[in-house]
């Protein structure tokens, strides 16, 4: 998964998905062997030579100017996320240095402070590949209550949201419109792949998901990109039932992102989240009580079980 192959694959996928009638190209009723625009048609729409466009699509050139890339984006009817992705695919190769092992992702001080401030709102901290770096109790309960709450604390055991969405039946059942959530996950990974074409861990994740999920493989081959900053999902939670949440990604620089889930005020969904928070707090209190009992001396445990009465 290098920048050259990604650029060519992206251009071919977009060209095949654009019908001639969508851009005013007349086919005069001819039958076509392949769907979408031909190379020469797209080159004409973008105002570049066919040979130059062919070199771009074949990965023989990554020197396209900003003006050429914008012209191609316009001809392909790309949205803003797709346009940025097209630029990322060429920029990543030009700025590439010698391959270095990326620094381990961690919760930054800013992300940690934000997570603390969102104590009453379900929130999780995600690395760029979707690894869960941290979550608050409500975030854990809403998104992955069946997973060990301490898993993010050990890098080798960190849950990954893409794996959960595609390979975990509990998470799949959590979303009423699972395909929409799945496409959002793939679209986000595509954006990351364009910005970090040398990320070996990302390559391994994509390879694993492609091998284990035909649905992921199909969506990945579609080359759709999507910046999932805000999305509304209907969730079917096993403890509190159906609720509609707005998932928002709060980005603050090159570090990890904080994803929060909010609901409309005075709605049944808000009531469901409140109920989930109460259940989470009750479980946490019971766990703390058990831990205190295990750590105490035998005499202290006895006093906890049998309080002394006077009279």
In this structure, the answer to whether residues 148 and 223 fall within a common structural domain is yes
In this structure, the answer to whether residues 190 and 230 fall within a common structural domain is yes
Using pLDDT thresholds of 50, 70 and 90, give the confidence band for residue 94.
Answer: low
In this structure, the answer to whether residues 189 and 256 fall within a common structural domain is yes
In this structure, the answer to whether residues 70 and 120 fall within a common structural domain is no
Residue 78 lies in a domain: yes
Of 60, 94, 128, the residue that ends a domain is 94
Domain that holds residue 11: 3-94
Integer Cα distance of 9 and 261 in angstroms: 34
In this structure, the answer to whether residues 189 and 229 fall within a common structural domain is yes
Residue 300 lies in a domain: no
Of 94, 117, 142, the residue that ends a domain is 94
- Which tens digits make up the pLDDT trace of 137-159? 999 999 999 999 999 998 888 99
CA angle 256, 260, 262 (to 5 degrees): 165
Torsions phi, psi for 255 (to 5 deg): -80, -165
Of 67, 94, 121, the residue that ends a domain is 94
Of 34 and 153, the structure prediction assigns the larger pLDDT to 153
Q: Is the pLDDT of residue 115 over 60?
A: yes
In this structure, the answer to whether residues 113 and 45 fall within a common structural domain is no
Query: The CATH number of the domain where 65 resides is what?
Result: 1.10.260.40
In this structure, the answer to whether residues 147 and 122 fall within a common structural domain is yes
Top mean-pLDDT range of 24-33, 71-80, 97-106: 71-80
> Which pLDDT value is given to residue 247?
96
Instruction: Give the percent of the chain with pLDDT over 70.
Output: 81
Cα 160 to Cα 50, 163, 164, 227, 311: the distances in Å are: 42, 5, 6, 18, 58
The residue behind tokens 């005069």 is 28
Residue 294 lies in a domain: no
In this structure, the answer to whether residues 89 and 116 fall within a common structural domain is no
Q: How many domains does the chain have?
A: 2
Query: The CATH number of the domain where 268 resides is what?
Result: 3.30.450.180
In this structure, the answer to whether residues 69 and 114 fall within a common structural domain is no
> Which pLDDT value is given to residue 53?
92
Residue 308 lies in a domain: no
Integer Cα distance of 93 and 127 in angstroms: 22
In this structure, the answer to whether residues 64 and 115 fall within a common structural domain is no
- Which tens digits make up the pLDDT trace of 177-213? 999 999 999 999 999 998 888 889 999 999 999 999 9
In this structure, the answer to whether residues 64 and 133 fall within a common structural domain is no
Nearest to 39, CA basis, from 23, 52, 24: 52
Residue 20 lies in a domain: yes
Residue 26, CB-side half-sphere exposure with 13 Å CA sphere: 1
Q: Is the pLDDT of residue 270 over 80?
A: yes
Residue 289 lies in a domain: no
Residue 311 lies in a domain: no
Those residues with Cβ within 8 angstroms of residue 73's Cβ, 6 or more apart along the chain or in another chain: 82, 83, 86
Using pLDDT thresholds of 50, 70 and 90, give the confidence band for residue 65.
Answer: confident
Using pLDDT thresholds of 50, 70 and 90, give the confidence band for residue 60.
Answer: confident
In this structure, the answer to whether residues 51 and 140 fall within a common structural domain is no
> Which pLDDT value is given to residue 309?
37
Of 48 and 280, the structure prediction assigns the larger pLDDT to 48
Q: Model's pTM, two decimal places? A: 0.81
């Amino acid at each position: 998964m290098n920048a050259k192959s990604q650029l060519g694959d992206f251009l071919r996928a977009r060209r095949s998905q654009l019908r001639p009638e969508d851009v005013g190209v007349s086919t005069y009723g001819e039958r076509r062997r392949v769907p979408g625009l031909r190379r020469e048609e797209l080159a004409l729409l973008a105002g570049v030579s066919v040979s130059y466009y062919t070199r771009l699509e074949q990965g023989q050139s990554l020197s396209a100017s900003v003006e050429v890339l914008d012209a191609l984006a316009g001809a392909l009817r790309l949205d803003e996320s797709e346009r940025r992705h097209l630029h990322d695919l060429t920029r990543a190769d030009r700025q590439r240095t010698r391959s270095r092992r990326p620094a381990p992702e961690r919760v930054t001080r800013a992300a940690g402070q934000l997570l603390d401030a969102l104590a009453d709102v379900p929130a999780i901290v995600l690395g760029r590949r979707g690894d869960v770096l941290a979550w608050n109790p409500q975030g854990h309960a809403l998104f992955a209550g069946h997973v060990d709450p301490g898993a993010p604390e050990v890098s080798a055991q960190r849950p990954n949201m893409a794996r959960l969405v595609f390979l975990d039946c509990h998470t799949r059942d959590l979303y009423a419109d699972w395909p929409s959530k799945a496409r959002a996950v793939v679209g986000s990974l595509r954006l990351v792949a364009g910005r970090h074409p040398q990320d070996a861990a990302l390559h391994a994740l994509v390879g694993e998901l492609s091998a284990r999920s035909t649905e992921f493989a199909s969506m990945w081959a579609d080359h759709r990109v999507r910046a999932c900053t805000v999305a509304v999902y209907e969730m079917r939670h096993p403890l509190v039932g159906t609720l509609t949440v707005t998932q928002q990604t709060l980005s603050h620089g090159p570090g990890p992102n904080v994803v929060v889930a909010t609901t409309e005020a005075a709605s049944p969904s808000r009531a469901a989240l409140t109920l989930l928070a109460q259940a989470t707090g009750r479980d946490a209190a019971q766990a703390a009580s058990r831990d205190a009992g295990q750590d105490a001396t035998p005499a202290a445990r006895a006093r906890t079980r049998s309080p002394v009465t006077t009279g």
